[in-house]
Structure 1
Amino acid sequence: MRNQVVLLKDEITLEGTRVRLLPASPEHLDGLFKASNHSEIWMYSPSTISKHEDLVSTMNQWMKSKEQGLRYPFVIIDKSTNEIVGSTGYIDFSPQNRECEIGGTWLDPRVWRTKVNTECKYLLLKYGFEELNLVRVQFRTDVRNERSNRAIQRIGAKFEGVLRQEMILHDGYVRDSNVYSILDKEWEDVKARLLGYLRKEDIY
């Protein structure tokens, strides 16, 4: 087995049956803003996108973090409509520790409870463990966000604990965050579980 992490490349495109993940760039601003214009998306988020200027600022932060090798943001294309329906990515990338977090994930509510999020997680985890040679992938979410917690638990991530008062949200609320992880030795089981979900026709 390789013992060195593969550094994030300049351009990564990940594609499944339902979604295509493209490297986020300023050319995606209009599509991202259309998908983000729903207040319920930002209920548990440290930031909010309510006007185009918010998204421009967010994109600038993404590009700076990407240049530093700390983050790799994607836009999510729903292949059934060829429209942008959200964003996700690798954050807090640590080559020396061979780990990162999958985060910064938000979706247009019209694709909630579809296979979009499940396939995004599958593609990101597969690339992380099988191409980047990571040993650990982390997830964090607001302890109050039942939908997000259920989704993370459902894919087989292990609960590690609570980070108390870990983040101040855009509305001033001081958030406690649940932390979950998947290790490289657990990936094959998680992979089989995700592929099983993706083979089903039901929404979830």
Structure 2
Amino acid sequence: MSTDAFDLTLGEVVDSRPAARPQRIALTGRHVGIVPFDVGTHGPALYERSHGPEKEQLWAYLGAAPFEDYAAFEAYYAAAAQKDDPLLYAIIDKASGEAVGHATFMRIDPANRVIEVGNILYTPALMRTPGGTEAMELMARHVFETLGYRRYEWKCNALNAPSRRAALRYGFRFEGVFRQHMIVKGRNRDTAWFSMLDGEWPQRAHAFAHWLAPENFDAEGRQLASLGVFNADQIEVGDIRLRRASLADLPTVEEVQRRAYAKNRILLGVEPVPLLWDYAQVFREREVWVVDGATALSAVLILEPRAEDLLLDSLAISPMAQGSGLGNVLLAAADARAQALGRGVVRLYTGEPLSANINWYRRKGYSIERVEQMPDRRLVHMAKALG
């Protein structure tokens, strides 16, 4: 039979070099440190913090039960600390210097560049704190940026609602439930699977950085915008949905930007600002939103949350989609995003010779704040206060 009778469509060709195995090294953040677990150093404090009145709840979904005494705890963790997979780390509160939780890298598959974070224990001293979120940020950053994994997994008992909420908050995507996956402590466990991919990480890293920033907390330490909001995957404006871009979109985003802004070269006399950017860096430093068309991206919206406002850094419509009203959609999406993040002002800038753009923004509620003289151009800065 001829091979023409078969559909030989195969997966994308990828870099097949293996990732590095995680080692027993320390990761340091502002609030917490991640260090190789040592039962003699970390055991006493962790046992005390995890065996109070709430111990049944803390250990409910972990493979081990609460321990009868410290001797049993010590024996279990002395053995666990020697394993390479799961590779156990203590989470250290930098203020007290004591262990307040633990987590592991597990099911480590360097050949396929897949790794899981699991066996997570957060004591009350770590729960609902910036340090708890920072611990997960440190581990994810290490997985993607240092070790070179392409898939990061989170799995939990499907009945474990707090863990499922945490996975989504951290930016993992729900993939489904494996029914009757395990038997744990004599009970059936259906397992909920979540993942984060290397192409998604730059936007997740951006969200973590903005949530953890000191300006995201008030004087009493309360968050101003949630990590879930920073990690939002879509903005809906009427019937149009903008989705958060991933690195898989990078070439098409660059192409839309190039085609949308190239026409301004003649009026400006210089290269338009968005065409000077390194877009790999843009994906790490700004929010990138896109509108999908029938065959390609129709529009790109690039935003940057700042302490006092939301900067609308770029608005680009594919030439094939111009005249369809998408410009109004992107402006409305920027307004919606600013409000979700608790910003009362949206700001933007454009080249002074682009009078049609300036007039259009003024009709949409923006006013000129100032004109900035740059070495090679003049930028008109505009702002819109949201009601």
TM-score using structure 2 length: 0.49
Aligned length: 199
Cα distance in 2, alignment partners of residues 80 and 63 from structure 1 = 24
The answer as to 2:110 corresponding to 1:95 is yes
The answer as to 2:168 corresponding to 1:153 is yes
What is residue 56 of structure 1 aligned with on the other side?
74
What is residue 107 of structure 1 aligned with on the other side?
122
Does the CA contact (< 8 Å) of 2:39 and 2:81 recur in 1?
Answer: no
Cα distance in 2, alignment partners of residues 53 and 180 from structure 1 = 35
Does the CA contact (< 8 Å) of 1:129 and 1:184 recur in 2?
Answer: yes
What is residue 152 of structure 2 aligned with on the other side?
137
Decide whether aligned partners of structure 1 residues 61 and 162 sit closer, same or farther in structure 2, where only a CA change above 3 A counts. Answer: farther
Identity %: 28
Greater RCO, CA 8 A, separation 6+: 1
Does the CA contact (< 8 Å) of 1:33 and 1:55 recur in 2?
Answer: yes
What is residue 56 of structure 2 aligned with on the other side?
39
TM-score using structure 1 length: 0.89
Deviations 1:111-139 (A, max 9, x none): 21111221111000000001111011100
Cα distance in 2, alignment partners of residues 6 and 197 from structure 1 = 29
Cα distance in 2, alignment partners of residues 17 and 2 from structure 1 = 35
Does the CA contact (< 8 Å) of 2:62 and 2:119 recur in 1?
Answer: no
The answer as to 2:43 corresponding to 1:25 is no
Q: Which entry has the higher C-alpha Rg, 1 or 2?
A: 2
- Quote how far apart the aligned CAs of 1:43 are: 1.5
Does the CA contact (< 8 Å) of 1:22 and 1:75 recur in 2?
Answer: yes
Cα distance in 2, alignment partners of residues 180 and 57 from structure 1 = 32
Q: Specify every segment of 5 or more residues in structure 1 that has no aligned partner in the other structure, as ranges.
A: none
Q: Specify every segment of 5 or more residues in structure 2 that has no aligned partner in the other structure, as ranges.
A: 1-14, 227-387
Segment of structure 1 superposing worse, 22-31 or 186-195: 22-31
- Quote how far apart the aligned CAs of 1:192 are: 1.0
Does the CA contact (< 8 Å) of 1:35 and 1:107 recur in 2?
Answer: no
